[in-house]
Structure 1
Amino acid sequence: PLFSSSRHRDPGPVMADRVHPMQSPPHPASPLPPPDQEDAAAATAATETTPLHPTLYGPPAPPPGTYIVQIPKDQVLRVPPPDRASRYKSLAERPVRRRRLRRAFFGTCGAVLFLALAAAVFVGTVYLVFRPRAPAFSVASLSIRGLDVAALPPSSLSPELDVALRADNGANRKVGVDYRGAGEVAVSYSGARLAAGQWPAFHQAPRNVTVFSTTLRGTGVSFSDEQRKQLAAEQAARAVPLTVEARVPVRLRFGKVLRTWTVDVKATCQVTVDKLAGEAAAANRGCRVKVRPFLWWWW
């Protein structure tokens, strides 16, 4: 026989070997992780691959080879171009300017409102304490010369009048009146001024009545024919209407310290005299008092 040996045996029928796949053994340089770490890594991988909500994790990772340089926000310098620098400066300062203007506006309004309220409180207190009242005026007597048109030729006249005026401050118990200088008293008939003079300066105490006289003079007075006829008829009837106007600067005195500013007071009295020559009896028909400008509530 070709193959005969005591060392070899008949292999018998040939059977195919079944090969099972096996996991490659771990690399000796990388030790196996503990079981706990394996579970954590698996959970992390599952979380990374399937996020619960993609919007909670920011932007996606950049592609490989991309470098990201992060600079702190407070170190980012932004310089506008030269052609826009002035506009940028004006736009940057506009909010600050608006805030300043708004604060100044509201501060001014508050100061004005406070001053107005303080003035109202002060005026109300003064009124309640002193109770000021307007003095009364009247014409006590008139002495007329050079105005008898029936006895004089129809030419320009130069009349003279001595007027006695009565100023009554009896309604005020605590308020005095200072009549300043540069006042004027005038007498007119039917709108034509006859004569004018000065109002004397004096102080009138509370509850005081003062009667003073002043001389009024006029020049170049003339009447039309109709006015002469009317004046002659009224003189014959012993009822000649005249208008006495007085304009004088006045100051009020509250007590011994407090005083008001100076204002112009105008008193207009309508009187009727019985004759135009000599001492005439004056019948008062009422006086009206005004203040210009209107600064006293009680005038």
Structure 2
Amino acid sequence: MADRVHPVPAPPSRRRPDQPPADAAASGAAGEPPTETTPLHPSFNRPLSPPPGTYIVHVPKDQVLRVPPPDRARRYRKLAARPARRRLLRRACCCSCAALLLLLLLAAALAGAVYLLFRPRAPAFSVASLSIRGLDAAALSSSTSSSGLSPEVDAAVRADNGANRKVGVEYRGGGSVAVSYAGQRLAAGPWPAFRQPPRNATVLAVAMRGQGVRLTEEQARRLAADRAAGAVPLEMEARVPVRLRFGKVLRTWTVDVKARCDVAVDRLEGEVAAVSRGCRVRPLWWWW
């Protein structure tokens, strides 16, 4: 025979004074007889108890969120230090960029002030005279031999710094000058080192020597034709390390100034009459 389940009375509930009883409200609202309900078992509302041998430790919520367990404390400190390290690195990069930008601005301001105060200009060059040996008719007839040509060219080059009223030019050592015809180099030599004050023009003696120079048949034919016509075009190229001087203290860094001069001579032996067609110098803005 099955066991009979007996209903368990529900615990009394509190109600307000103006609130009617639950059974009266349920039966009086619609005029129906009250119905009996079976309440839940008391163990359903009872909190779950831990198994035997265990303990419940109540930890504050803020401590749970802020304090990691001991086995992960090292990893927590490492992860927590990353944002601070990144902030320090970002701050150091920003400070370095700002300092570099400030230095560049100060350098640009200083260069602009010096340029406006001194108004520097590039020196001008011209070929005053030429003396040529080793390019006579006998030498040109044997230019295709095994020994080749050994031309010697002495040039008087005029360096004019008259455009600068407050800026001196310092020509450093290691410069070179070369003379060529139709792309073929004939002779080369060193550029003399000296200091040129403002408003000064100096004529320099430059000695150029060549050895084993061989001309092609086309170049020899053209050179002979130009010599017969009395107008041989030559090209002189100079590469000179130059440094500008502002007063007695301030100097610029050393830069290589390149000049190219077109010269026409009437003959190829002895003291010749040179007609300089102008020299082109790299613009001064490149120096800065």
Partner of 1:196: 188
1:37-52 alignment, distance < 5 Å: none
Distance 1:117 1:163 in 2: 45
CA contact (8 A) 2:140 2:220 kept: no
Task: Tell me which of 101, 107, 110 is aligned to 1:122.
Answer: 110
The worse-fitting range, judged by mean Cα deviation, of 90-99 and 125-134 is 90-99
Partner of 2:241: 249
SS at 1:182 equivalent: coil
CA contact (8 A) 1:169 1:206 kept: yes
Distance 1:91 1:291 in 2: 58
Partner of 2:166: 174
Partner of 1:94: 82
Q: Offset of 1:80 from its aligned partner?
A: 4.8
Question: Is 2:97 the partner of 1:105?
Answer: no
Q: Offset of 1:119 from its aligned partner?
A: 1.0
Distance 1:70 1:215 in 2: 97
Q: Offset of 1:107 from its aligned partner?
A: 0.6
Q: Sequence identity, in percent?
A: 62
Distance 2:183 2:237 in 1: 12
Distance 2:218 2:110 in 1: 56
Distance 2:178 2:215 in 1: 17
Question: Is 2:252 the partner of 1:264?
Answer: no
SS at 1:186 equivalent: strand
Partner of 2:276: 284
Distance 1:103 1:142 in 2: 65
Task: Tell me which of 48, 58, 69 is aligned to 1:79.
Answer: 69
Structure 1 residues 100, 295: CA separation in 2 closer, same or farther (over 3 Å shift)?
A: farther
1:84-143 deviation line (CA, Å, top 9, x unaligned): 844x34321210121012101211111111111111110111011100001100111110
CA contact (8 A) 1:143 1:163 kept: yes
SS at 1:200 equivalent: coil
Q: Offset of 1:228 from its aligned partner?
A: 1.0
SS at 1:170 equivalent: coil
CA contact (8 A) 1:266 1:291 kept: no
Task: Tell me which of 110, 135, 143 is aligned to 1:147.
Answer: 135
CA contact (8 A) 2:158 2:203 kept: yes
1:165-219 deviation line (CA, Å, top 9, x unaligned): 0000000000000001111111111111100111111000000000010211100
Question: Is 2:220 the partner of 1:232?
Answer: no
User: Which has the larger Rg?
Assistant: 1
How big is the alpha-carbon RMSD for the aligned residues of Structure 1 and Structure 2? 2.8
Question: Is 2:123 the partner of 1:132?
Answer: no
Structure 2 runs not aligned, ≥5 long:
1-14, 17-45, 50-55
Distance 1:77 1:100 in 2: 25
TM-score (ref. length: structure 2): 0.74
SS at 2:278 equivalent: strand
Structure 1 runs not aligned, ≥5 long:
1-44, 47-61
TM-score (ref. length: structure 1): 0.71
Distance 1:151 1:119 in 2: 57
Question: Is 2:214 the partner of 1:222?
Answer: yes
Q: Offset of 1:152 from its aligned partner?
A: 4.4
Distance 1:133 1:115 in 2: 26
Distance 2:275 2:224 in 1: 19
Question: Is 2:266 the partner of 1:274?
Answer: yes
Q: Offset of 1:71 from its aligned partner?
A: 5.0
Distance 2:225 2:158 in 1: 29
Q: Offset of 1:266 from its aligned partner?
A: 1.0
The count of corresponding residues between Structure 1 and Structure 2 is 235
| Structure 2 letter corresponding to 1:120 | A
Distance 1:152 1:239 in 2: 16
